Structure formats: structure tokens, C-alpha cells
Structure 1
Amino acid sequence: MASTNQQDGFLRFERWIRQQGDDRPSRIQSDVTELTRWGGYDFDMIFAPLDGRYRGPPSGEYDQLIQLYDIPDDFVAERERSVTHSFGHQLGENGVETLWMHFLVKIPTTASQPNQHEPWLKWGFVMTWKPKPMTPTERDTVEPENSEYCVTFLAFQPPLESIQALVTFILSSTWNHVNNDPYVIVDVALSSWYQRVDSIAWDVTHLVRTDEKRLFERAKILETTDPSSHSRHLSSLDLHGIHTSAKNAIYLTEALDAILRAVDRVLSAHKELLHDPKNKWRTEDRTWENTHRLLRYRSELFNSTRLRIVSSHERIKNAVDLAFHLNNAQDSRIGMMNSRSVRIISIVGLIFIPFSAASSIFGTQFFSFPDNNEHHMQVNQDIWYLFATAIPVTIGILLLWKASENDQLRLPGGLASLFGCSSQPRPRDSPSGERGILLNDMEQQRA
């Protein structure tokens, strides 16, 4: 519905106008030269392209729009700085008041589409109102402060939900409530924006739930399958997807915190109008009271969605921690397998090193080759010295190693370092097998 088309080099704006006594609003297409600021319309609603310096020649039309509706410089600067959410309210001349808001939220992405084009949803609006001009008869019978307002609402590229809500409002029989309380249309905008943000929040929650379920299923497989296949299962973990879900939750939490602050400012500004002495008569108007209650209700809705996203963020953080510990557990398993290989090599070395040492001490005189018989080797009858020395040394070293493995050996610190064992008792391995590795890793992380 928003008019983003360009015809003959001019931007086209979709305009809805309604007057008191009209059965239906008028819907027209206008360019910037056809727009008038105060045409005597009770409610003038305009849909325009996204605010900002448009590319190409039409950029001058945006400047004309700024001048025509006295759009605040702060509103223009907010778009250039990509402000997440904002609320502003200022007073002008001749009783004119201007209110503006900006909205921004990130559309969730997945690991399969990390470079999704323009994943940000943004829009904004400027609303201006002034006391409605009175006829000569009304000037004599109506107090000036009791007059109604002429309201102009300029929406810049609102999402589909907001367009539908705004059009539904101007078509309804209660559209003229905006003439008594302009904040009625602000409530409509917040209500439609909540629908979109809440839908995005559910999408983020679904992505978190999916990643969480896959990770827990993978952890269960790792506990019940052969350790030799763990590397294959761990390599299939979508760690990128898990971190993408965490990023989506962080972005949405920021957006919800920002909109909650903006809604609080809306409530404060509306409350100030309620207590304005010149608007004292409106405190008895049900429209103003109902609008204030609805604005508080919107705040509660946004806060409810925020709590859901905070919960999803904590869940995905838990999933990231679990994935981290699973990888650590796999590294521990690989280290244990490598240590077994080194252990076998060490045992072989313990057996043969004493023989090598004894042979080095006694020399190579245990064997000889007589010159008269080159095909036979003679063994010295004193070779028993080699076995008498090497075998006890080998047995002694093996006993020391075995005792240190079973925590039955207590050596002073110096000797413990010499033999490569600890002088303190070592904690026994968990009897729970593979689960013990994961629990030990988690305890080390907490420490």
C-alpha cells in the first residue's frame, strides 16, 4: 500500500483523508507538489517511502517534504545514524505539536543464509496536530481550549501489519477519536509493531529450540555410540548455526529494550498532556483514559515478549556451553588414546633400556666370532652377569612404575620428579566412563 513508485521522476505518496460527517475516507495518489500541510482535514494520513536522503534526482523531494511538514532535524538525523528506536515530542508555533518515532528490528537469519539481503526492518512516522479551526458560531460557543485537533500522520515505509492496522483504523467508526487524543494513532502504530516484533520473536525462539534439540540429540548419541565414531558425530555439529541463533537473540533483546524505553516515554508524554491545565476537561473523557490504559498494555506486551527472548538467549548460551564441553570431551578422548600409545612405547622402553644399560657397562665381550670359524658365534660363559643385572633392574623399575600408577608409592618431591611421578595421591578416574570425562571438563571450566 505504501507508495514507493516513481512516475515521471516524481515520488508518489498514498494519501488517506477523512472529514467529520464523511461515510468513508478519500484515497488519492499525490506527489510532493500536491501535498498541503493544513487543508482543513480532520485526519490526513500519508504513506511515504522510507525516510532518508533518497538516491537519485528525487532526493530533492524529500527535502521539500521536510520543509512542507516541518519534520524535525532530529528525526532526519536519527535515520542517518540508524537509531534503534526513538520518541520525540516538540511544540511549535500557533499551537502546533509534533511527535515522531523510529522503529528498527533485525530479521533473524540462519547459518544457511548468513548474507541475507537487507535483514533489517525499519520504519518511522511523524505526527503533527494543531487546534481545529472553528467557525464564527463555534468561536462564540466553544472555549478555545476545548477545541478538537486536525491531525496529520506521515508514515515512512511501515510494514504490512502497520499499514493494515492504520487503514482499518481510518475506515472504522471510531476514527474521530484521534481528533480528541492524537495518541490514539500512536497506540495503533505500537499495536501493529508489536505483532511484527512478536512474530520475529517466535521465529527466533523456534530457531533456538531447533538448535537446542539437535545438540541434545547429538550429545545423547555420543554417550551411547562407540567412541571411535565420536569424531564423525562432533564434526556434524552446526556450531555456526548455534552462534547465529545466539546473535539473533541478542539483536532482538536490544530492539525490545529500546522499544520498551520508547513506550515509557510515550506514556510519560501522554500523562503530561492529561495533567495539562488547558486540557483539564479531557481528563473526564473516556478516550484519553482508555488510550493511556492501552499504552500501558502495549508496554506489558513488549515486556512479555522480551522475557521470552531473554529465556531463549539463556537457553542458547547453555547450548553453546554444552557444545564447547562436548568438543573438550572429544579432545580428552583423543588425548587418552594417544597417551595409551605412548604408554605402550614407554613399557617397551622400560623392558629394553636396562639390558642396553647393562650391555653398555659390560661392553660387547659376551659375544665373539673366532677367526677359524666365521659361521659360528661364541657366547661368553659370563653372560649371566648381563641377565643378573638387567632383569632385577627391569623388575625394580616396573614395580616402581606400577606402584606410582596405583597411588601406593610415596616419594619425596625430588625423587618423585626424578621418577616422573607425583608425591601426592592422584584422584581416581570416574567410574562412569565417558560421562566422567565430560563432567571433569565441566568442573575444570567452572574452576
Structure 2
Amino acid sequence: MMPSLTKDPQSISRFEQGYTSSNVEAHSPFCLFQWHRGKHPTRKDILSVDELRNCGGWDLGILTAPTDEPASLPGLLKLVDLFGIPSDFVGERSHAVTHSFGIRKLGDESEIVWIRFLALLPSLPFHGKPRWRRSAVVLKWVPTPSSNNKSTSAPSRQVTLICFQPVEGILVAINRLFKSSRWEDALRDPYFLINASFETWHELVDENAWKLVDLSREAERSIFERSAQLEIDSAELLAIDYNSIHNLAKDAIHMVEGLDASLRSLECALRYHSEMEKLQRDDPAIWEATHRSLHYRREMFHSTRLRMLSVDQRLKNIINMAFNIGTMHDSRVMRQDSYVMKTLSILAMVFLPISTVSSIFGTQFFTTTTSPDPTSSTGAVNTSFVVNKKIWWLWTISIPVTVVMLVGWGVWIKRSQLKAERLTYWMKDVEKAKSA
């Protein structure tokens, strides 16, 4: 009854609208791994869901499939009907959810758990290509008739795990399970496979987290080197790739978002796995080992998240420093212009008193006179340069005024510098007091 009440037909219709025969291939590549008691595990390539219907009867089955999108998996609706996957799982794809964890009990007493994963793959240079990695798992277990037989210790479930667009690590985990004789632990506690899914997903996320750390460290080193070249090379100083730095900061935010989503899914898995403890009375060791592993996975995700939070803060510091470098460069240019203006001001200050005194007195201190040349028969004249006898007034007044102005200017500059130094020392004392 519960599946019929919660089934959403609109999710199915939206999926069907996205399906067209022109954007899908002729077949959907599946790979089925099967384990049977008393037999060796087998691997088989499946071309369609119809072929998959004839491969039932396994004790443990792991099916790898493409991403659950119409363009990649047109047979998803048949797969949903075959395994009783809830319509909510189909509808989540159209909403592009970041986090999803669901559990549903079906009418045949079977249970289904589904989880969606989402992570960003950071890279530079950024070309606008899709860098998101999506994956999903659906775990279903069905009680077998042996569950009513209390005298047997054989596992009492048939377990199926469907991996949509599995990461590389899940294939390695399946290979390890192929070579292991403890595969029946997954029948005793199906969350054994959930733990393996979180383990492989953390490997992918942690690897890309370290990649983002390396990219951020390189950007940080470049900014530090440029900050040390403020007085050396101003041509390369402004050649800062602000776009790449902002993309790294955005990637860090998305990485934290993906880690938070994984942690929420892991918390849900731990909560529901705790409810299974009462069902594991005959073999509590398997449940306890799986539960402890899930707790460990949670701490590993927290470790990666803390690293990403640190990277996020470092990138904020890098962005601030990058903009400060530009500001310091502009300040350096303005300081050079200030030196030129200061030189012109000093020259004006030196000659200002002289011109002022000359203007006030209006005295011509230098004149020329003409007189007839007695030796010339043609009436030529002689020109002579005459200095006014009152020129000493000019120097008596101009020199003291100039000296007073220069001394006053020097005293004012010195006092301004002392005030700036006292403010700097005061700020240092405040910082020391805060750090003490």
C-alpha cells in the first residue's frame, strides 16, 4: 500500500518526455556480477533489461549501469519496474538534487535504499566543460524462506546493488569481493555494500580535494611572489589571473556543498542501520563491524571537509591579497607622481618670496641706460646695464622669508612623519596585546 500512496506518476512522465529515439544508443550497457552459495562468482554483460529478467536467482547481485538519464539509459523505466525502484528516485534526476537518501519498504517485505552522490572535479584552466561527477546506488534486499528457519545460520536475504555511473573505485571494490570468501557478509548485513559505496566515493572526493589544495597552493605561491616584486618589476605585477582564482574559490564552495551532502546521506545511513541492530541478534559481529566502518567513513568525510574549509579561507586571503597588490601598485604610481609635485612645490616655494617682494615694491632693480657715443661721427649711442642701488632691499627681505618658509615646511613634514610612526607603533602594541 505504501508504494502506491507515494508513487509519483509525474516523475515517470517527465522521464518519458526526455526520452527520444534520436538521442539514445541501440542498447544500454549493463554488467552483472553474481554470487551463489556453493558456486564461483560470475560476470556477465547484459545488453537490455529484458535480458536481465532471465538472470535472476542470485544470492548477491551487483549491477553496473549508465547514468539514469533518458539519453544514457532509455531502459530505466523497465529497470524501475523490475526491481520496484520508487518513482521518487526517477524524479530526483529532473530536479538535479545535490543530496538524496531514501528508504522504502515494499509489499513483499523487501526494502530499498537509494543514495545519490554529487561532486565537483576541479581543474585549471577552466574551459567551461562539465566538471560534475554524479553517481547513484540502489540497494534492495528481499527476505528468503530461510528467514523462518531459526535453526540455520545461513544468510536469509537476497541482496541486489545497482550502481548508476559507478566510480572507478567501486569496480575495484567489486574485484576485491570477487576474490574474497566473505561475500556472504553482504547478505547478513546489506549495509556492508553501503559502506563500500561511501568508501569509494570518499576516495574520489578526497583525491579531488587534494587536487584543489595543490591548485590553490600554486595560486598562493604566485601571489606571494608578486607581492615581493612591488619595487622590482611592475610590468608583470598586474598580470594576475583573477578569473582562475575566483574559479578556485567557487570550486571550494561546491566541494564543501558536496561533502555536506555526503555527510547528510551518511548520517541517514547510520540512523537506519542502527534500527537493524535488533535484527542481527544471531550475528551481531557483522552489524557492529559495519556500523563502526560507517562511523569511520563519517569521520573521513569530516576530515576532507575541514581541509576544504581551510582552502576556502586561504582562497579568500589570496583574493584579498591579489586586489591589495593592485592597490599597492597604484599607490606606488601615485607616490612617484607625488615626488614630482613635491619638487615643483619646492621650486615654487624658493622663488615665491622673491617674486612677492618684487611685486610689492614694484622696483626695477635692473635697468638699461643709453648715452651718445662721443667717438662716433654717425650719432651712435652706448647702452649700459645699471643695477639699482636699492637692490639690497630685495635680498634683505627675500632671504629671511625664504628661509622661514623652508624651515616651516621641514618642521611640518617631520611632525607628520613622527605622527605616522607613533600610529604604527601603537597598532603593533595593540596586535601584541591581542595575541598575548
- Fold match, TM over 0.5? yes
**Aligned residue number for residue 108 of structure 1:** 122
Offset at 1:21? 2.0
For the structure 1 residues 99 and 281, does the alpha-carbon distance in structure 2 shift closer, same or farther, using more than 3 Å as the test?
Answer: same
Structure 1 contact 146–281 (Cα < 8 Å) conserved: no
Tell me the equivalent position of 1:182.
190
Distance 2:163 2:213 in 1: 30
1:417 is aligned to none
Work out whether residues 15 and 30 of structure 1, in 8 Å CA contact, stay in contact via their aligned partners in 2: no
Residue 355 of structure 2 is matched in structure 1 by 356
Query: What is the CA distance between 1:292 and its match in structure 2?
Result: 0.9
- What amino acid is aligned across from residue 340 of structure 1 in structure 2? Y
Q: CA deviation at 1:33?
A: 2.5
Q: Is the 8 A contact 1:231 1:330 kept in 2?
A: yes
- Aligned-pair distance for 1:108? 1.3
Alpha-carbon displacement from aligned partner over 1:342-401 (angstroms, at most 9, x marks no partner): 111110111122233333333475555668769666554444444444333322222221
1:12 paired to 2:26: no
Return the offset for 1:241.
4.3
1:140 and 1:89, CA in 2 relative to 1: closer, same or farther beyond 3 A? Answer: closer
Partner Cα separation in structure 1 for residue 272 and residue 148 of structure 2: 31
Which of 261, 266, 271 pairs up with 2:264? 261
Matches within 5 A, 1:261-300: 261-275=264-278, 279=279, 281-282=281-282, 284-300=283-299
Q: Distance in 1 between matches of 2:99 and 2:195?
A: 15
In 2, the alpha carbon distance for the partners of 1:401 and 1:242 equals 46
Report if aligned partners of 1:127, 1:153 keep a CA contact under 8 Å in 2: yes
1:83 to 2:100 alignment? no
Matched residue, 1:428: 421
What is the letter of the counterpart of residue 127 of structure 2?
N
Give a deviation string over 1:96-115, Cα, whole Å, max 9, x none. 211111111111112xx211
Residues 46 and 139 (structure 1), Cα distance of their counterparts in 2 relative to 1, 3 Å cut = closer
Structure 2 unaligned spans of 5+? 1-22, 372-380
Q: Measure the CA separation in 1 of the matches of 2:227 and 2:266.
A: 43
CA contact (8 A) 1:37 1:68 kept: no
CA–CA distance in 1 between the matches of 2:147 and 2:189?
21
CA shift for structure 1 position 312: 3.4
Q: How much has 1:267 moved relative to structure 2?
A: 0.6
Partner of 1:344: 343
**Which range moves more in the overlay, 315-324 or 194-203?**
315-324
**3-state DSSP class of the match of 2:71?**
coil
Conserved 8 A contact 1:230-1:330: no
Residue 87 (structure 2) pairs with residue 73 (structure 1): yes
Q: Given residue 232 of structure 1, which amino acid in structure 2 is its aligned partner?
A: A
- Indicate the larger mover: 370-379 or 27-36: 370-379
- Please state whether the residue corresponding to 2:237 is helix, strand or coil: helix
Task: Determine if the alignment matches structure 1 residue 124 to structure 2 residue 123.
Answer: no
Q: What's the offset of the Cα at 1:130?
A: 1.6
| Aligned sequence identity (%) | 33
The answer to whether the 8 A contact 2:229-2:237 is kept is no
CA RMSD of aligned residues (A): 3.5
Quote the offset at 1:171 in angstroms. Answer: 4.8
| Residues 255-290 of structure 1, C-alpha deviations (whole Å, 9 max, x = no match) | 222212221111111001214xxx2634x4322221
Contact kept in structure 1, 2:58 and 2:158, CA below 8 Å: yes
Q: Specify the SS of the correspondent of 1:130.
A: strand
Partner Cα distance (2:366, 2:147) in 1:
134
Give the 3 Å change call, closer, same or farther, for CA 140–285 of structure 1 in structure 2: closer
The residue correspondences of 1:24-43 to structure 2 (distance < 5 A) are 24-36=41-53, 39-43=56-60
1:349–1:43 distance in 2 versus 1, CA, 3 Å: same
Instruction: Tell me the alpha carbon deviations over residues 27-86 of structure 1, each in whole angstroms, 9 at most, x when there is no partner.
Output: 23231222339933222222111112327xx64x33333333333233233333332332
> Within 1, Cα distance between the matches of 2:39 and 2:327?
72
User: Following the alignment from structure 1 to structure 2, what is the Cα–Cα distance between the partners of residues 147 and 199?
Assistant: 36
- Secondary structure of the residue aligned to 1:103 is strand
Unaligned runs of 5+ in 1: 1-5, 408-421, 431-435
How far apart, CA to CA, are the structure 2 residues paired with 1:242 and 1:65? 44
